[in-house]
Structure 1
Amino acid sequence: MDPSVPLFWLKKLLAAFALPPLLPLLPIMLGLVLLKPHPRLGRTLAWAGVTLNLLLITPASVNWLLTQVEDPAPLAVEAMADAEAIVILGAGRREHAPEFGAETVNRLALERLRYGARLARLSGLPVLVSGGGGANEVPEAVLMQATLEQDFGVPVRWAEKRSLDTRGNARHCAAILDAAGVRRILLVTHAAHMPRARAEFEAAGLIVHAAPTGWLGVYADKVPANFLLGELPSQNSAYAGWFAWHETLGQLAYRISR
């Protein structure tokens, strides 16, 4: 068995406890268990969990966290003239998609593919899609290629089907591009994921022009009209908080592992 596979699932297991919704529940549950033998400690832990949960779902605190991880700048138009290929990173699959006759990409991957398709049409650059899969799974790159070619009419030159994480994306894509004599790329992924992805691809020896998409933060020139209502926790802010914290931990893990 490829040693990267059990390591990947171990990271997934650890991430489940390090991310919402489990993360804030852990101190709450521990606090309730300790409430009788250690009332002060139990109350402190329980309220700490409640506070952490509120911080991860309240728009103001979530937005601050997003501004720490999101790449703030869109792709400069002139960067397209310097690039030799477009690399689009996978983001997951939707297994139950009967309307398509089989599984397909999830909405996060679809956001990346939509922007990647736009860049491909504007630039005429060849496209590489990157994403693997577990045992007996169709690689994400295969699903991405089908979506680009069938739904967007954009041909895919290369499909990297082995990677299980961002570091794998970078290393396997670099090998494919090196064989094709390509070093300068437009890298397409979500704005929150871009700093970590860019660092990995540059470490793999590629020259990267960041092409982020899917910003989740609210920036100064885009304050919503219903600002006060928008400051209440919602399913959107809870999701954005999950994404922001995921990338915060991802960037920390990257720095530790270098």
Structure 2
Amino acid sequence: MEQLSILFIAKKLIGIFLLPPMLPLVIIAGGLLCQIWRPRAGRWIAWAGLGVGLLVCWPDSVAWLLRGLERDPPIAAAQLKQAQAIVILAGGRRSNAPELGGETVNRITLERVRYGARLARQTGLPVLVSGGSPTSGTSEAELMRRTLKEDFGIAARWVEGASLDTHENAVFSAKLLQPKGYTRVALVTHAAHMPRSVGEFERAGFTVYPAPTAYLGSHGGEAQALPALPSASSAYGGFYALHEWVGLIALRLRGQ
């Protein structure tokens, strides 16, 4: 296995323990172990883990976490007129889709591809799809290219299939686009992923027009998007929000 793949997998494994559902379980387990030596402190730690578990799935706290991420409104027509290309970021793959003949994009990537296809159809702008494969196999970008063509009738002009994270999405997209004079892009990704994505693409030298999709929380005073009580939807929103906040903190620690 290549070194980059090993680093990618190591980063994912670390992330498992920093994000729900493992994060509260790790805190609770730590508290229970601590009870052996410090019973009172152990009980407090275990209760804290339970509190964290509730916070990351309770709709009000999840909405608060998302509010600081989903800042960008839907892209405006005036912004689209300024863009020279559309960049769609991958968000994962589905390795077993027998009804579709094998591998395909996962739900997250499909939401982005669908919106990118709509913008491409509206504007006629060329499309770049970006996303690699941490192990051997078809890149996410190639799966996106197929989905765009077969399901939406849009041909991607560029397929960037080497990147393994958002930083590399930006760097490798710049290598494809900027030598050809494409420096202004409409960037398609999830609304909660947009702050991190915009920062990376701007550092790579692009002028970015955010084109967010798949808002998980409310935006612009609209009706509450999350259910009133904890559910699978709110738990997913909590996971996604915390994932993005951890990513932003990591960027700060890297000094970017």
State the alpha-carbon separation in 2 of the partners of residues 164 and 36 from structure 1. 42
State the alpha-carbon separation in 2 of the partners of residues 51 and 89 from structure 1. 34
Shift of the alpha carbon at 1:39? 1.5
Q: Secondary structure at the match of 2:86?
A: strand
The residue identity in structure 1 corresponding to 2:216 is L
* Residue in structure 2 matched with residue 233 of structure 1 by the alignment: 230
State the alpha-carbon separation in 2 of the partners of residues 125 and 60 from structure 1. 39
* Residue in structure 1 matched with residue 253 of structure 2 by the alignment: 256
TM-score, normalization by structure 1: 0.95
The residue identity in structure 1 corresponding to 2:253 is I
Q: List aligned pairs for 1:101-250, cutoff 5 A.
A: 101-219=101-219, 221-224=221-224, 230-250=227-247
State the alpha-carbon separation in 2 of the partners of residues 224 and 212 from structure 1. 18
CA contact (8 A) 2:70 2:219 kept: no
State the alpha-carbon separation in 1 of the partners of residues 8 and 70 from structure 2. 24
State the alpha-carbon separation in 2 of the partners of residues 59 and 36 from structure 1. 35
Q: Does 1:74 align with 2:74?
A: yes
State the alpha-carbon separation in 2 of the partners of residues 148 and 17 from structure 1. 34
Q: Secondary structure at the match of 1:196?
A: helix
CA contact (8 A) 1:71 1:212 kept: no
* Residue in structure 2 matched with residue 47 of structure 1 by the alignment: 47
Superimposed CA distance per residue, residues 62-118 of structure 1 (whole angstroms, 9 cap, x where no aligned partner): 000000112331101111111110000000001110010111000000000000000
State the alpha-carbon separation in 2 of the partners of residues 178 and 219 from structure 1. 33
Shift of the alpha carbon at 1:11? 1.0
> Percent identity at matched positions?
51
Shift of the alpha carbon at 1:5? 2.6
State the alpha-carbon separation in 2 of the partners of residues 220 and 93 from structure 1. 31
Q: Does 1:99 align with 2:99?
A: yes
Shift of the alpha carbon at 1:196? 0.4
State the alpha-carbon separation in 1 of the partners of residues 179 and 165 from structure 2. 21
State the alpha-carbon separation in 2 of the partners of residues 101 and 83 from structure 1. 35
The residue identity in structure 1 corresponding to 2:147 is T
Q: Secondary structure at the match of 1:193?
A: helix
Gaps of 5+ in 2: none
* Residue in structure 2 matched with residue 58 of structure 1 by the alignment: 58
Pair 193,224 (structure 1): closer, same or farther in 2 beyond 3 Å? closer
Q: How many residues align?
A: 255
TM-score, normalization by structure 2: 0.96
The residue identity in structure 2 corresponding to 1:240 is G
The residue identity in structure 2 corresponding to 1:7 is L
CA contact (8 A) 2:132 2:161 kept: yes
Gaps of 5+ in 1: none
State the alpha-carbon separation in 2 of the partners of residues 87 and 113 from structure 1. 10
Q: List aligned pairs for 1:11-30, cutoff 5 A.
A: 11-30=11-30
Q: Secondary structure at the match of 1:71?
A: coil
CA contact (8 A) 1:86 1:116 kept: yes
